[in-house]
Structure 1
């Protein structure tokens, strides 16, 4: 029987990054997913990036992650955020073609020779000596030195649409029941909720009543692909008529009934929460975001709800420009189990079971980007642990990855955690445009890159470990802003100079 170095359970953004990062360091990697067709699927919003989130993606690109490359390949609309403010909070956001995104990830996973993919469900996790035994639905056993659990919203989850409750992790996808196995390791288990808005038919919208939002022509993560980046998005608003309708239907929502009692994301509330908490506001913005080049669906960002399907149809038809709209996919709320991340080391393995790693929404985070960076850290550390190398402990002062993980393991997650630039004391130094200088040496030391292709002054140059320091010495002096910020943000410049490139 094969003893794997790392087994990853779950094929979301955390699972994919964990799988690919660990495959760069060792072999005998296995990814187990309940449905291989859905690897890399965008469960909710078809977008990557945003305030704080784009910093994570840029750092992942420098360290050798894949999400930035896939985003550049599949983007259909891009936006520069906070452009009129300081450089430290400049952010970027992409609209993504769902099909292109998923297919690109599948291609990368399928061509990797040291990754084994398996479509299966794990029903039990057992620890035996220094190994982990995974028992599937057919009572077959997989043995691994380390496992990474990236189950997302699929652990003991339920979906609520009005008064209807379904035992799904995503609509029409079955949930996992691993909580009993993990309770034996004495983990604290609680519940969180999230939701997704309806998708409507692109052909039944009155675009004359909507505000057009044009794309900013920019390359997000430095890689140029030959696709048009010119798909338009649109903006509309709710109104008092809609607000009064939803107030009358409060009693039919899953939260009011009691089917869902957990806390949802603060920065992505349902439309019921907005109307209840901001009762004096007459309107809320709704962004109409296309789901792809050839997709018939429009994603209604800002209209997450748990109303019944009948009430969802009435609600949408009361919005300006959507009077004759037709729902293709309806909205729902989902409640799921998560584990208190304070039980983890900064390397993301459990303190009293150090060969089990957790990543993604199972740690109480929300968003693709937060999940991806956790998966990347877990993948590196699980693979390095399996071949007896020292583990990477992300630092708060040199990356937003370190900020996110330090926040989780020290403060826990009482609500779905989301990264922001305001959460870092070093945010003037942690910018998107100096990620190369902060993290390239670390990527070489971790073993996730051997050669880096970088666009500089309209030319592509290759950075290897041998010419790394010469490149930095020349370009830090040329780029005075980066050089100045390194000095200003450090009270003790000698400390930064000594440890900036230290693993």
Structure 2
């Protein structure tokens, strides 16, 4: 059997890739090393944020699922930049890990034309127009287009103090595709990321702690409208803790010289913050629950690669959590990534155009950036397999276009993160006008159903109807109705010319 599309990896990028490709063609397969971890939130149990929520709204219009799953699993929500202009308004959710993962599994098992396989890929060989993918049992699959979404699992190492382990996540084995990339002359390098310790919620002292309540706001999509208000908390480091970390900073993997790569600039480890900002008396720590029935609290802002003993001492030096226990220890992870300048706008390799790369393998960080790349690579791999023209997102009409253009033209020296400041015309690229920007594109690509297309068009019609009803002048109404019809028909008529 010859597959049209095979996706390696089942993180956020792989999930969006396989779902988008399954809407365009059949004979698609996703291969993962552990089916139980499909859709697992590896690090922070949050979705959205500045720039990231714009990506999610664009993924929604392009037929993605991250928006629906986030709405279903939401336990806390905030609107960021509310006092600023609408173009930078952003949603941010805390989500329940278990609900999130289970909902994705449910969608997967209900989707009949997606084949799921648990396996490890060891070799990729080109054969004429096809690719042969060998697994560890020496069996192979023949495929027209391959999407690699391996995240942090390529030649990855975990660092906790002086100790080093092999693994893509803690207690999960890594695998090597770097040799294959070297054979085909693709440049690879290393990046790092980290995660903080998780503590027991039952031993937190709640007196004099700053509480963050949920905002009552709309969801990413209108699918689920539950009011879910689990409290989050904010703490701060103190001089005693800062001085303790300064004394033990050389025991961190970062300062032992074991890690020789850059991490996310906007999510540094606590020892890195104290080293770079020695005059700051305190640093914020967000206490974020991991679910309704979970005892774990995620300590956002306390990412570290210090040893187990030092992490325990750090917790004891923060008043409100000093009696709590560490359920999972924090660590740093270093992994290989591919230089994204070897890619086209459609996310396939320039000189091997039937291999697509998306997610953290391209040097990005965050679930949303990975999902955005996954949906583009899934669309283009599926369209290419049935001899249709591929879509290249543009900077002027989407944050996805900005993300991909930055990657393939500028490359990355540190994990890439999207921000609204990266858009030159951010006044146009708002969350609330994504229908106007990408609706017709999505329908033309074949990834948006007729039912959803009609639903979104009704929303657009009601928006214009409300605008027109404000004005009582009939000539004004006629002018605007005429203008709307001209814009829609012209945009749809010239879509081939300006979009592809």
Pair in the same fold by TM > 0.5: yes
- Report the CA distance shift for 1:74/1:357 in structure 2 as closer, same or farther (over 3 A): same
Once the two structures are superposed, the pairs formed by residues 281-320 of structure 1 within 5 Å of their partners are 281-320=280-319
Out of 462, 467, 479, the position equivalent to 2:455 is: 462
Answer yes or no: is 1:445 the counterpart of 2:438: no
2:21–2:382 contact (8 Å) kept in structure 1: yes
The answer for unaligned runs of 5 or more in structure 2 is 472-485
CA shift at 1:222, angstroms? 3.0
- Report the CA distance shift for 1:130/1:471 in structure 2 as closer, same or farther (over 3 A): farther
2:181–2:187 contact (8 Å) kept in structure 1: no
1:7–1:31 contact (8 Å) kept in structure 2: yes
Distance in 1 of aligned mates of 2:39 and 2:76: 19
1:291–1:299 contact (8 Å) kept in structure 2: yes
CA RMSD of aligned residues (A): 2.0
Distance in 2 of aligned mates of 1:108 and 1:359: 22
* Alpha-carbon displacement from aligned partner over 1:317-356 (angstroms, at most 9, x marks no partner): 1113011110000000000000000000000000010000
CA shift at 1:135, angstroms? 0.7
Distance in 1 of aligned mates of 2:289 and 2:380: 37
SS in 1 for 2:254: helix
The answer for unaligned runs of 5 or more in structure 1 is 455-460, 481-493
2:435–2:460 contact (8 Å) kept in structure 1: no
Q: Which residue in the other structure is 1:457 paired with? A: none
- Report the CA distance shift for 1:251/1:469 in structure 2 as closer, same or farther (over 3 A): closer
Distance in 1 of aligned mates of 2:469 and 2:32: 48
TM score, norm. by length of structure 2: 0.93
Distance in 2 of aligned mates of 1:416 and 1:225: 32
Distance in 2 of aligned mates of 1:154 and 1:195: 14
1:163–1:253 contact (8 Å) kept in structure 2: yes
Once the two structures are superposed, the pairs formed by residues 46-195 of structure 1 within 5 Å of their partners are 46-195=45-194
1:237–1:320 contact (8 Å) kept in structure 2: no
Distance in 2 of aligned mates of 1:127 and 1:315: 52
Q: Which residue in the other structure is 2:480 paired with? A: none
Distance in 1 of aligned mates of 2:307 and 2:227: 38
Distance in 2 of aligned mates of 1:284 and 1:479: 49
Q: Which residue in the other structure is 2:344 paired with? A: 345
- Report the CA distance shift for 1:46/1:294 in structure 2 as closer, same or farther (over 3 A): same
2:60–2:221 contact (8 Å) kept in structure 1: no
2:68–2:223 contact (8 Å) kept in structure 1: no
* Alpha-carbon displacement from aligned partner over 1:380-402 (angstroms, at most 9, x marks no partner): 00000000000000000000000
Answer yes or no: is 1:243 the counterpart of 2:242: yes
* Alpha-carbon displacement from aligned partner over 1:109-163 (angstroms, at most 9, x marks no partner): 1111110000000011111111111111011111100000000000000000000
SS in 1 for 2:24: coil
CA shift at 1:207, angstroms? 1.0
Q: Which residue in the other structure is 1:485 paired with? A: none
2:216–2:227 contact (8 Å) kept in structure 1: no
Distance in 1 of aligned mates of 2:438 and 2:225: 28
2:97–2:291 contact (8 Å) kept in structure 1: yes
Distance in 2 of aligned mates of 1:170 and 1:469: 44
2:123–2:180 contact (8 Å) kept in structure 1: yes
* Alpha-carbon displacement from aligned partner over 1:172-223 (angstroms, at most 9, x marks no partner): 0000111101211110000000000000000011011310110001122132
SS in 1 for 2:19: helix
Q: Which residue in the other structure is 1:491 paired with? A: none
* Alpha-carbon displacement from aligned partner over 1:431-490 (angstroms, at most 9, x marks no partner): 001011111111101111123559xxxxxx7246xx89967865775699xxxxxxxxxx
2:363–2:416 contact (8 Å) kept in structure 1: yes
> Is the deviation greater in 203-212 or in 158-167?
203-212
Distance in 2 of aligned mates of 1:54 and 1:476: 26
Distance in 2 of aligned mates of 1:182 and 1:474: 54
1:72–1:219 contact (8 Å) kept in structure 2: no
1:82–1:89 contact (8 Å) kept in structure 2: yes
SS in 2 for 1:337: strand
Distance in 2 of aligned mates of 1:499 and 1:410: 28
> Is the deviation greater in 470-479 or in 141-150?
470-479
2:270–2:301 contact (8 Å) kept in structure 1: yes
Q: How many residue pairs end up in the alignment?
A: 481
CA shift at 1:226, angstroms? 5.7
Q: Which residue in the other structure is 1:220 paired with? A: 219
- Report the CA distance shift for 1:124/1:478 in structure 2 as closer, same or farther (over 3 A): farther
Q: Which residue in the other structure is 1:403 paired with? A: 402
SS in 1 for 2:168: strand
Distance in 1 of aligned mates of 2:252 and 2:227: 41
SS in 2 for 1:269: coil
- Report the CA distance shift for 1:451/1:496 in structure 2 as closer, same or farther (over 3 A): closer
1:209–1:320 contact (8 Å) kept in structure 2: no
Distance in 2 of aligned mates of 1:472 and 1:330: 50
Distance in 2 of aligned mates of 1:445 and 1:474: 25
1:12–1:41 contact (8 Å) kept in structure 2: yes
Distance in 1 of aligned mates of 2:217 and 2:59: 19
1:451–1:463 contact (8 Å) kept in structure 2: no
TM score, norm. by length of structure 1: 0.92
Distance in 1 of aligned mates of 2:462 and 2:32: 42
Distance in 2 of aligned mates of 1:219 and 1:344: 37
SS in 2 for 1:126: strand
1:125–1:182 contact (8 Å) kept in structure 2: no
